[in-house]
Structure 1
Amino acid sequence: METALTDDRSTRRAFLAHGSVLAGAALLTGTPGLLRPAQAQGLAPTPTMPGGANNYIPGAPVVSRIGGGGFWMTGTVRRAGDGAPLPGVRIQIWAHTTEGRENDAHSHGATLTGADGTFRLEMPQIIPAFGQAHGHLAYEGNGFKTVFLRPVMARSRDTSLSAHFVLQPV
């Protein structure tokens, strides 16, 4: 029994000693990446969602509200890579609501992001059409790749929905 404990200790000491020698050699020879701090890859761009562009009508006007309101579509817009908020970005929003279908022009509107990259637009209550209740949002403009989103509501009685864009510069 005594021999086994001695052998275990010897093995651990040898491992630690050899490991220290190898680490020291790596430091002295300048192994690439060993002394460099870990770096994040950056914020990945948001991909277009399947069905996001359904019933898109280019050029919807910037509005203070779509229809009678009562439901809030909110979100953020940031730049891919560094995650910086993007102010003044135009986001178009449309959905099947209590006041119209998603292909009706009066169901479409656009808003601009604030200085902190957030947006918020009031619209009529979204209701289910062809499955779960969902909204549509689009970024289409200069300087970044076009992105269409189709977020689904957790419950059809919810009175708000959020969507977040991370835009890839072109």
Structure 2
Amino acid sequence: MPAAPLKFAYWVPNVSGGLVTSKIEQRTDWDYAYNRELAVLAENNGFEYALSQVRYMASYGAEFQHESTSFSLALLLATERLKVIAAVHPGLWHPGVLAKFGATADHLSNGRFAVNVVSGWFKGEFTALGEPWLEHDERYRRSEEFIRALRQIWTEDHTELAGDFYRLRDFTLKPKPLN
């Protein structure tokens, strides 16, 4: 069996400092113009994926940051083939709202939008936004329920979910994502 082709991805520096905890000055820029140029350069040099980071407030060297889903959509619209993955935190997003955003972004980009569900580790972001902080295992349990809800919304005609973290009643999403 032939080996699967090697695929390349890069981490989008949509936050100042690139989320690198180092005393060395970073050479990336968090602004859109730089990131648009980087995305086009990556696409034209065989990169298949880009992953935007999620950070909602200044912390550990990331004084400035752009929100990952909207920034990812902007990069998708600036490219033709690059698949862009937006990092999201369950607990700060409702799966029904993200499902609608994702389906729209997928249609606008001809099927190139994806999400990276991250369970969160930065307690200060959740508490600063008034959200309860869950311990490790509970955060992962919430993420599992979030993924289950997204999958159901994106693949089934009708969604009912009575979970511990999310509830959906008689929810229908149209259009569905392309992929």
TM range (shorter): under 0.3
TM-score (norm 2): 0.22
Flag the structure with more relative contact order, 1 or 2, with Cα contacts below 8 A and sequence separation at least 6.
1
Q: Higher helix fraction: Structure 1 or Structure 2?
A: 2
Q: Higher strand fraction: Structure 1 or Structure 2?
A: 1
TM-score (norm 1): 0.23
